[in-house]
Structures are given as C-alpha cells and as structure tokens.
Amino acid sequence: MSSTPDSMRRGAVPVQLPPDGAMPAPLRAMAPHEPRDGDARGGDAPTTPTTLVALRDWVASVAALTQPAHIAWCDGSDAENARLVAMMLDTGDLLRLNPDTHPDCYLHRSSPSDVARVEHLTFVCTPTNDEAGPNNHWMAPAEAHAKMDALYAGCMRGRTMYVVPYCMGPIDSPLARCGVEITDSPYVVANMRIMTRMGAAALARIEREGAEGLPFVRGLHSIGELDPERRFIMHFPQELSIKSFGSGYGGNALLGKKCHALRIASHQARGEGWLAEHMLIVGIEDPQGATHYVAAAFPSACGKTNLAMLIPPEGYREKGWKVWTVGDDICWMRPGADGRLYAINPEAGYFGVAPGTSEKTNPNALAMLDRDAIFTNVAVTADNQPWWDGLPGTPALDWQGRPVDKANGPAAHPNSRFTVSARRCPSYSPHAEDPQGVPISAIVFGGRRESLVPLVFEARDWRHGVLVGAGMASETTAAATGAVGVVRRDSMAMKPFVGYNFADYFAHWLSFDAPGAVLPKVFHVNWFRKGADGKFLWPGFGDNLRVLEWMLRRVQGNAGALETPIGNLPLEGDLDVEGLGMAPGALDALLHVDRDGWYDEMEAVGEYLAGFGDRVPPALVEEQQRISAELGRP
C-alpha cells in the first residue's frame, strides 16, 4: 500500500473541489486525457467535457451530494487505463500477476463480505408494489431515494468520482442503448472498460441522442465502506436510473450489466416491443456452411459461458461443425422486418465464473486468460499465476491472500471471476458486432436439476414454450449470496433480473406470437441430471453440441421426436452419442419422463403461477392445466 494522497495518484485528475463540497460555478471538470493547466494549451482546455446539459447537471448534482475530491471523465483510452492500473497497483486494489506467463493480467481481492450479488438487498422501485411483482423486492421510489441519498451524502470525500459513459451493444447499432455510470471505484472503471463500449464514442452517441431528446440510463455507484449492513442496489425503471451503494462486486457494481442491461432494459423492452434476456447467443455452423443462432437462458453459474464457447467433439470437428460466440450472458432481441427475432449482445466482454474453467471444459475461455485480463478472488500459485479448481499447478495463496489451508475452504472463491474482452475469444463470431443483430432459430431454457428433468425436450409451440420458461427451476449457486443447491423457480433465468412483475413479463413474452411473426422453436435442457451413483449422467460441455444438433434438425424439420405431455423428446437414435461410451441405460435415464414426478412438478408450476394472482395471463394457466390433465395420475 502506498501512502500517496489520492490527489497525487496517477489517474486522478487535477480538479480540486472545495472540501466543503460547495460546487464551483460553473463546474470545472476535466477529462483525464485533457492537458493539465500549464500544458501547451494552458488555460484553453474546455470548461466542461460534455455539451449535454442534462448530463452536466446530473454530474454536478451528484458531486454536490457525494463531495468527491476530484471528478474524472473517462474517455476509455489506453493511456487512461494505464494510469488507472498504475494507481491501483500503488494502492493495492490490483496485484500484478506473473508478467511472463500472464502479461497485463491483474488480481483484485474483494472485501471477503462482498463476493457475489445480493438479491435480498436488490430492489425494484416502481411507483406501486404490484408493478415490481412478488418476484422482486420493492421499495417506494421516494423512500428509496431518501435512503440512498442519505448514504451518498459526502461518501466520496477524499476520493475521485469517475464519470463513465458507456454503450450497451455495438456503438452503431440501433438496438444498442447508452448509459453513464458515476462511480468512486477505479476497479469498476477498469471492468466497465472491458465489459462495455466505454468512453469517448459512447459519450458522443449520448450527446447526439440527447440533442434529439433521447435519455441515457443514469447509474450512481459508490463502494461506501463495503459494509454489508449499508448495502443496497436500487432500480428506478420509470426514471431509467440506478443507485448502488456498499458493494464493489460484479453485478452489484458494474451497473451496465444486470442493473441496466437486464432490470432497466427489460422494463424499456416491454414498453417498446423487444426482449432483454439473461441469455447467451451462439452460432452453430453446420458442415454445409449454414449458421444458425441459438439463444439460451440458464440461471447464474449454470453453463451459459461454457455453451457460448463450446468446442465441438472431435467427430463433429472432422465433419466441419464450427461454433461461434456472440454473447455469454445477456441478449437483447427484437422482431425484424421478416418477422424473425434478431439479437445483439449488449456486452463487450465476459465476466465469467473462474472455477471449473479448464483446458478440458472450456479451452476457448482459457485461451483468452493469459493476457489483458482482470481476475477477482482467484487463488495464486507460488510463481504468481492465477489458479482455481480445474487448472494445473498448486495454489499457494487463497482468494484472501492467505497461505492455502483446506480448513479455510476452497483456495479460489466459488464465485471468483475473470473479466476479459470478447475480442480475445478465439470463437468470437464475425457477426457479433453486426448492428442489426443475428437471427435466432431456437431459444433454449435450462437449469441445474439433479433429478426429474430430461436432457432435452421441445415445446409444442410458442405458448407452451413460454410456460416451459416460466416454470423453469434450478438449484441455486454461488453467484448470489445465500444457500447453494436449493431448487427454486427461476422463470427464464430472470428471477433476480427482471425489472417488473413476472406476470406482466409472461404476457409480454406471449405477445410475440403475433401475425407475421416467425418465432424460434423453444427447447428445455438439463445437463445436470445425476444417476444413482450421484454422478452426472451427461458428459456436458463440448458434447452439448450433440443436443444442439438435434434441436437444429428439429428446426429444419428433419429429425423425429417422441411426443409426451411435457413436450417432444429425441427418439432412440435421434441423438448422436457415437464415441461417448455411455453406460448402458444412461441415455434412457437421461431421457426418461417420470409421469408422476412431472404431474407434481406441473401442479407446483400451477401454484407458482397462482402466486401472481389475477395478473397472470389466463393462456399460461390453461396451458399448465392442459399438461397437468394429460399427465393426470392413473
């Protein structure tokens, strides 16, 4: 740790505000790239880095409230990033990893009580509780603003306040949307730079759109004291604003991700006829050279990054199958002129789960992680390389920097993550940045279910597909604080992320079945079914392409299926399992539909839907009742 005062650190900008927080008028703020006073341009520097009055006024009002020592407008340049990294190395916010094996890679150790999303402290602050729905924690907007503003008062004293303009989606895409995050965490700035299109180009778009009266999403973030007792993540969908305090971790702090691209965007999408979803987007190229795009919603830590980057099994590779990554976590899609759904990935990087990422499971991810990456809460080896379960070598220090001791639990935190630019991904799709997006042929829902749920089934039609998504359930993971391994309903993998009432969200999904629509087929998968021995029955990872291939043959109308009350399953011989050496009976077990168990499941789905009261679309209840009746106990 350095004792350098904040004002002297590289990365801080030379804008001294009065310590009492009174704002000089007009606000004098400089971008970190602007020449300092005394430079060649001397006093010619512009007095404000933006022409957009709404942005300038908001930044000024936040500064008046939080009273930072400096304001830094981020331009996203390499030079700015280098200054921030140097400063964080000084302060100990970042630790340099082995420069020979991992050039320009850094480790951040978060506060041990700040290691995951905090769903119980995340609120959707709509005018009425009903708009947020039973699926969200709700607080009245006025109360939430008062609570947050009290926490923010003076919270940035002695710190630099960074103004981070960003664009979610390709900068020239009509489907992309912009926001500005104000944060006092340079680690957040460095992550936002990888995860979004951050800086000058985004600011230019915000100013251009602002001149046309279009709003940008306003996100205010302070790490506060990182005190879990003083931590809240508040969303104001009607105001297109976010207020986050007390956490520096992942989705709590990188406001472009879950807060903007899902909670706020889902609200916008509902009003504007599109979908903002917790889905990966992957392109599957067949041996004939045709590429079909699949969007898949799995809950946190249930396999999105892995599926998005999968490497085909050897036999498939030899035949010419290829897989192209468009996105690994979030998908925005809207109907195109031809009636199909077109999708973009609003993100520019991956904030991926580290443990389990290995040469065997996800070589594409691993190939990105040997340079220009930020690691959070992983362990390190004696020669200072990042380490987690699945990597060779031995950890020396755990995620808290302590000598590894089994008594302290796993060396890398189960929710430890890497942040890396999407452009480093070997399978990055040449169409990932197409402004109009890619057409979606299939939507896949999935969860982590050790029993009951078969490897794959296909919904009969869109309405059934919406029920399949709404009824999804999964075992909880380390991606959020709380118990792990408990089965909970997680509709469309959006339980923690939808910015409004699930009942209205289901109705919005149903509304896409409109005249002229050419909708994707809907499927459900479960890579996690276990046998009597407690082991996974399905090899997963690259072999998941075998299941995707069946889906795409179904889409093209050239694969058979067994019709059952829960949907259509592959018939014997439809799934290519050649070379897997599966134990006798394993495939039968994977594809088995336990009618009694499913009757109970569908009744539970019915109870779940009833929990949303009159608001739930009758079509969905009818669909559930139809399936329950078909399954009816003998």
Which residues participate in catalysis according to the annotation?
302
Residue 495 touching ligand SPV (CB under 6 A): no
CB of 351 to ligand SPV, least distance (A): 5
The minimum distance between CB 304 and ligand GTP, in angstroms, equals: 3
- Beta-sheet strands, E only, within 469-584: 473-475, 487-489, 521-525, 562-564, 567-569
CB of 614 to ligand GTP, least distance (A): 33
| Rounded Cα distance, 204 and 75, in Å | 10
Query: What does the buried/exposed string (b/e) look like for 7-33 if buried means 16 or more CB atoms within 10 Å of the residue's CB?
Result: eebebbbebebeeebeeeeebebbbbb
Judged by beta carbon distances under 5 to 8 A according to partner kind, the member of ligand SPV, ligand GTP, Mn ion, none in contact with residue 251 is ligand SPV
Asked if residue 329 binds ligand SPV (CB under 6 A), the reply is yes
Stretch in the footprint of ligand SPV (CB under 6 A) among 96-104, 138-146, 147-155, 250-258: 250-258
User: Interhelix angle for 595-610 vs 462-470, to 10°?
Assistant: 80
Residues whose CB is less than 8 angstroms from the CB of residue 250 and which lie 6 or more positions away in sequence, other chains included = 116, 117, 257, 351, 376, 415, 417
Helix residue ranges, H only, 265-401: 265-272, 304-308, 314-319, 363-368
Q: Rounded to the nearest whole angstrom, what is the least distance from the CB of residue 594 to Mn ion in the complex?
A: 30
262: helix, coil or strand? helix
- Closest CB to ligand SPV among 328 and 433? 328
> Tokens standing for 528?
């996690």
Q: Which is nearer to Mn ion, 231 or 257 (CB)?
A: 257
- For ligand GTP, the closer of residues 181 and 329 by Cβ is 329
Q: Which of residues 312-331 bind Mn ion (CB under 5 A)?
A: 329
Orientation angle between helical segments 200-211 and 53-66, nearest 10 degrees: 120
Residue from the set 257, 424, 460, 546 that interacts with ligand SPV by CB under 6 A? 257
Strand (E) or helix (H) holding 277: strand 275-277
Contact (CB, 8 A) for 332 and 276: yes
Contact call for residue 258 and ligand SPV (CB under 6 A) = yes
With CB under 6 A as the contact rule, the residue among 251, 349, 439, 617 that binds ligand SPV is: 251
Q: Which residues is 162 bridged to in the sheet? A: 72, 183
Residue 93 interacts with Mn ion (CB under 5 A): yes or no: no
Please report whether residue 181 would count as binding Mn ion according to CB under 5 A.
no
Among 301, 326, 422, 444, binds ligand GTP (CB under 6 A): 301
Residue 190: C-alpha distances to residues 111, 235, 378, 599 (Å):
18, 23, 18, 49
d(CA 603, CA 596): 11
Q: How far is the CB of 253 from ligand SPV (least distance, A)?
A: 9
Can residue 302 be called a binding residue for ligand GTP (CB under 6 A)?
yes
Among 266, 385, 544, 568, binds ligand GTP (CB under 6 A): 544
Least distance to ligand SPV, CB of residue 43, Å: 43
Which residue in the set 9, 102, 109, 117 belongs to the binding site for ligand SPV (CB under 6 A)?
A: 117
CA-CA-CA-CA dihedral for 549, 552, 554, 556, to nearest 10: -130
DSSP secondary structure letters along 38-94: TSTTGGGS-S-S-S-HHHHHHHHHHHHHH--SEEEE----HHHHHHHHHHHHHHTSS
Q: What residues between 477 and 536 interact with Mn ion by CB under 5 A?
A: none
Q: Binding string to ligand GTP for residues 353 to 382, with x set by CB under 6 A, is what? A: x-xx----x---------------------
Question: Where do we find the tokens 């304001």?
Answer: 71
Identity of the residue, 352 or 465, whose beta carbon is nearer to ligand GTP in the bound complex: 352
From the CB of 258, what's the least distance to ligand SPV, in Å?
Answer: 5
Q: Does 448 bind ligand SPV (CB under 6 A)?
A: no
The alpha carbon of residue 167 and the mean position of all alpha carbons in its chain are separated, in whole angstroms, by: 15
Euclidean distance between CA atoms 193 and 541, whole angstroms? 29
Nearer to Mn ion, 277 or 329 (CB): 329
**257 is in the binding site of which of ligand GTP, Mn ion, ligand SPV, none (Cβ under 5 to 8 A by kind)?**
ligand SPV
Phi, psi dihedral angles at 281 (to 5 degrees): -130, 125
- Count of residues of this chain found to bind ligand GTP when the rule CB under 6 A is applied: 22
**266 contact, one of ligand GTP, ligand SPV, Mn ion, none, CB 5-8 Å limit per kind:** none
Mapped onto helix, strand or coil, the DSSP state of residue 397 is strand
In the complex, what is the shortest distance from the CB of residue 435 to ligand GTP, in angstroms, rounded to a whole number? 25
Which stretches of the chain bind Mn ion, using CB under 5 A?
A: 300, 329
Which stretches of the chain bind ligand GTP, using CB under 6 A?
A: 298, 300-306, 328-329, 352-353, 355-356, 361, 479, 527-528, 536, 540-541, 544
Which stretches of the chain bind ligand SPV, using CB under 6 A?
A: 117, 250-251, 257-258, 300, 329, 351, 479
